[in-house]
Amino acid sequence: MRPFEQQKDQLVFDKNPIQIQPDDGDSNFEGWGTSLAWWAHIIGQWEDTEKMNELLDLVFDAKKGLGLNIVRYNIGGGENPSIVPNTLRPGGDVPGFQPDEGVWNWEADKGQRAVLLAAFERGATIAEAFSNSPPYWMTISGSVTGAEDGGNNLKEEYYAAFADYLTEVVKFYKEKFGVIFRTLNPLNEPASNWWIKGNIQEGAHFSLDKQMEIIKSVAESLEEKGLSDTVISAPDENSIDETIDMLQGYDQETIDKLLQINTHSYNGSQLEELHELAAEKKKRLWMSEYGTGGSEPHNHEDISSIMELSERIILDLKLLQPSAWIYWQAVEDESAKNNWGFIHSDFRGEENYELTKQYYAMANFSRFIRPGSDIIRTNNEHSIAAYDQKEKQLTIVVRNECSKEELEYDLCAFQFDTDSADVYETSLLKGLAYSQIPVYRNGFKILVESESVTTIVLSNVEIQ
């Protein structure tokens, strides 16, 4: 028998091939995103606009960069100016719009605003607003970093005022800039007890009953102001299991106020259970925050972080099945000396940046699995696929942490007018390196490198 490389008509599989079945998936994936806190507060104020535009192209432009189309805008609380020294990390001191009770400053937060608007100029399609903490003067501790004991930090008399604050910002962006926040989330990891005064970032604990109270207050405020284009998302817990716990504790009135369930996926094991709960409640489900830095010392070429990133994305898309998948912050502070983020820039230093290995691994997913695609789970735990019916494009992404391996893919469920596929590989020595492989009428074989993320793209594909 001729080698498979020469057998263009029909491929003889040597083992059980990985199945790509279009009916084993989820339709209308909304896309990929990033939160703008804290990096946008810094980058958006760069004086070197040419360098800033280069960086923003790398994050949001679908052809030049990652093509992230979802932005999560942080409505800052604004720290107490009397606290000296300010403990917030570089970029974490996001300005608030209400520096004191009864006082509004709509010129605040120019950096984050500049990046938000630039994202839409580059193709972003969805914006969400979220809060890490109420303004300092509404808090019990007098600080946006948390309560003295890690407990509730919003004064009892300020729940309606906090809701008014958040919805006024939503109204301002709609009327002034034409930016409509599709969702507004007043919470961020609210069940966590690590929001203690003196932290290096904003944060606020809300007990279950207080979560319900602020959700209802925000819903009432949106309705009073006629902001019907914006609905509520919650609870944005740190773990998937905590998200389930909160949702199961909400009363029916609170559930009715929610149109979208947000969860972080740093921790938790009940991915399928949360998917089923969201479907039962008829709520859209987002994986609204995840980030990783791997296990190696500070190194832009760190391979362990791309293994963790790709494992998380594939696991989430297969089991949690969210409508959108959002990384924490696309740009991280170089001075922090960690491996988080796709791009590093010294938030205290020169206006410059460097790409990390994670950038290329993220591009393996976000540049090729585009909004509107149907996610296909596959019968292999290390592979995920997507079919873009509009573009007639089939994309497969495979993660390989073990030794070099030859994989076989069965494409009998599709018909296509091509004899080759485009391949993009990210590994220890490569960053989205391009090549091609032969494709046969029923599938293909590919050799994937050790510790790699590989994307295979087929064009002119239709479902049988």
| pLDDT given for residue 7 in this prediction | 39
Nearest to 198 by CA among 328, 329, 39, 80: 80
| pLDDT given for residue 28 in this prediction | 84
Asked if 8 and 153 sit in the same domain, the reply is: no
In Å, how far from its chain's centre is CA 436?
30
Domain end call among 311, 346, 368: 368
Domain end call among 326, 349, 368: 368
> Which ranges of 258-341 would DSSP assign to H, the alpha helix?
271-281, 304-315
| pLDDT given for residue 24 in this prediction | 87
Asked if 317 and 433 sit in the same domain, the reply is: no
| pLDDT given for residue 236 in this prediction | 98
Domain end call among 338, 368, 398: 368
- pLDDT < 70 stretches in the chain: 1-8
Residues β-bridged to residue 388: 393
- Helix (H) / strand (E) containing 332: strand 331-333
| CB crowding 228-261: b at 16 or more within 10 Å, else e | eebbbbbbbbbbbbbbbbbbeebeeebbebbbbb
Asked if 105 and 206 sit in the same domain, the reply is: yes
Which residue segment(s) compose the domain that 441 sits in?
Answer: 4-23+378-463
DSSP for 120-165, written as a single string? HHTT--EEEEE-SS--GGGBSSSSTT-BTTSSB-B-GGGHHHHHHH
Given a contact cutoff of 8 angstroms between Cβ atoms, the answer to whether 216 and 265 are in contact is: no
Domain presence at residue 157: yes
Asked if 329 and 241 sit in the same domain, the reply is: yes
Asked if 36 and 79 sit in the same domain, the reply is: yes
| pLDDT given for residue 391 in this prediction | 96
How many domains does the structure of the chain reveal?
Answer: 2
The helix, strand and coil proportions of the chain, stated in percent and rounded to the nearest 5, come to 30, 25, 45
pLDDT by residue (tens digit) across 317-369? Answer: 999 999 999 999 999 999 999 999 999 999 999 999 999 999 999 999 999 99
| pLDDT given for residue 200 in this prediction | 97
Residue 209 sits in a domain of what CATH number?
A: 3.20.20.80
Nearest to 464 by CA among 404, 411, 425, 427: 411
> Is the dihedral angle over the CA atoms 443, 448, 451, 454 positive or is it negative?
negative
Q: Pairing relation of β-strands 383-388 and 231-239?
A: unpaired
Residue 456 sits in a domain of what CATH number?
A: 2.60.40.1180
| pLDDT given for residue 8 in this prediction | 61
Residue 255 main-chain phi, psi, to 5 deg: -60, -40
> Which ranges of 293-342 would DSSP assign to H, the alpha helix?
304-315
Asked if 330 and 387 sit in the same domain, the reply is: no
| pLDDT given for residue 217 in this prediction | 98
| pLDDT given for residue 15 in this prediction | 82
| CB crowding 146-166: b at 16 or more within 10 Å, else e | bbeebbbbbeeebbebbbbbb
Domain presence at residue 373: no
